Chains A and B, each alone.
Chain A
Amino acid sequence: MRKSITLLFTIIVLITVSAILSSSISHFKKYVKEESDFETELKAMNANMELFSLLKSRLNEIKDSNRLSAVSSAVFSTAINGFDIEFSVKPASCGINPNSMWKADSKNDKIFNKGNAEVTFLMKEILLESGVADPDLFMDMMLDTMDEDLESRGAGTEIALEDKSFPNGSIRNMEHFFKILKHYKDATGDGSVYSIPWKKILSFSSEKADINCASEELLKYIAKDTEDILMENIHERTYSSLEEIPFRDEEKERLKKLGFSTFTPVIRVSIRSAGKNIAVETVFIYDTSLRKVKKVVFSKQKIQSGNSG
């Protein structure tokens, strides 16, 4: 009887000690994993920046639509120092830039707008066709954001007066534009502005837009009478002149006025380095003619086991 009690007690002690040790080990493992993930993240961010620096001289050779098309049709991949690296090159400016609607011009102490009237007209068309309840209010909100003064064109159109953390001046990126949508929705209760595929229509990288990567959605707004079958196959080839596009002459003219061309030197280079548990993607917006990096943005992804992407 006594032997059995001792044995039982010994087993209980062993179980308790192993439970405690395993809890301790799991805490230690978690700490080591966090440290190792952070190290991987930093290494990946550095690797992406270094790799871009090495690629820059080759990127400067992209000087026409055919070369950009050839490069952008592929995703390059390699493995270096335990990282699986993928990189791709795409045109960066595939949509219209709403900032071109505003260009300040002063005369006799008064400021006039000498912005692109065709872009303004297209934006209004898009808003009307999508059933936006108050397109003028939305347009005024955009213009009041883009001009740098704090004078309202109408009631509640100068967002920076209501939201002190709202950046006034040119619309900086899609997040900035979506803040204007939110203010419009809050002011009117009209959510129809969200039904417009803005991400496929707008671009903030350049004043010019590349027709070779323009979305079908955007082109449908510009050339309404073009047959669906023609529109679906519009990107089957790379255009080296706007004259080659199968649109009517007045639509081609409209493309020119909107700032479209067959090549823009602003490209989007994406480099993704994937380590054991962490992958970091870095997007570079690079102007090959000015040889200048316009923007760098990192994003981190956790890799699930058994999934390298």
Chain B
Amino acid sequence: MISLSIAAILFLLMYRVIDIERKGESFIKQKSEFSQRENSLIRTVFRDIAEGSAIIIAKKDEKKDILAVRTENSFHKIPNPFVYYFPVGKNGTLCRVESSVALSAGEIERCEEKESYFADVIAENVSFFKISTPLSSQYGKLLLYLSFENGRKILFAVPTYAITVTHNKNSVN
């Protein structure tokens, strides 16, 4: 009788351990996927800017900027491409457009791929996307601030040697 009770307790214990482990693993997996997406976003923006030779920052509205970079970093094997970061739509999709030629704001705002350029969605539900300019024209750091609709915030600095120009209108040319 005692042996059976111990066995039953152990069985219950095992069931609890499996349940907790399953929840824990799913939490870690979720956290890991989320973190990978966020790390990939930071890595991509970092490399685009740090490997950039010319940067244009344009103000889209009070909460969002447009970033245009001529960079050595390419997702799509375009040599020295023009890269644009552009928040589109009501759901705050942050689009990264990579092109072999300079594009106008009108061409990139739909975040659609065309023959001459590629568009990748690199973040969603972005409610705030702002970039501050470097302090020195020779070498400085761009400060990027993103906030999401769920309250998550990302703030990071990227060193750059690129010539940086700021526009206060909806233009990237």
Interface: A156 (CB within 8 A): no
Chain A binding site: helix, strand, loop or mixed by DSSP? helix
Distance in Å from the Cβ of B96 to the closest Cβ of chain A? 15
Contact partner of B21 (CB less than 8 A), chosen from A21, A31, A168, is: A21
Contact check, B43 vs A41: say whether CB atoms are below 8 A apart.
Answer: yes
Contact check, A167 vs B101: say whether CB atoms are below 8 A apart.
Answer: yes
Distance in Å from the Cβ of A21 to the closest Cβ of chain B? 7
Q: A13-B10, A24-B21, A27-B25 are in contact. Are A165 and B3 (CB under 8 A)?
A: no
Contact check, B77 vs A175: say whether CB atoms are below 8 A apart.
Answer: yes
Distance in Å from the Cβ of A140 to the closest Cβ of chain B? 20
Interface: B59 (CB within 8 A): no
Tell me the complex Cα distance, A173–B17, Å.
57
Tell me the complex Cα distance, A20–B72, Å.
45
Tell me the complex Cα distance, A300–B18, Å.
39
Closest to A300 in B: B43
Contact check, B76 vs A27: say whether CB atoms are below 8 A apart.
Answer: no
* A111 cross-chain contacts in B, Cβ below 8 A: none
Total A residues in contact with B, Cβ cutoff 8 Å: 43
Interface: B39 (CB within 8 A): yes
Interface stretch among B28-36, B119-127, B142-150? B28-36
Interface: B133 (CB within 8 A): no
Distance in Å from the Cβ of A270 to the closest Cβ of chain B? 15
- Mask: chain A, 149-190; 1 = CB below 8 Å from B; 0 = not: 000000000000000111110001101100100000000000
- Mask: chain B, 86-118; 1 = CB below 8 Å from A; 0 = not: 000000000000011100000000000011111
Contacting B at CB under 8 A, from A38-55, are 38, 41-42, 45-46, 49-50, 53
Besides A21-B17, A164-B116, A294-B53, 6 new A-B residue pairs in contact (Cβ under 8 A), listed by A number: A24-B28, A27-B29, A31-B35, A49-B50, A165-B116, A298-B50
Closest to A293 in B: B161
Contact partner of A45 (CB less than 8 A), chosen from B50, B53, B115, B161, is: B50
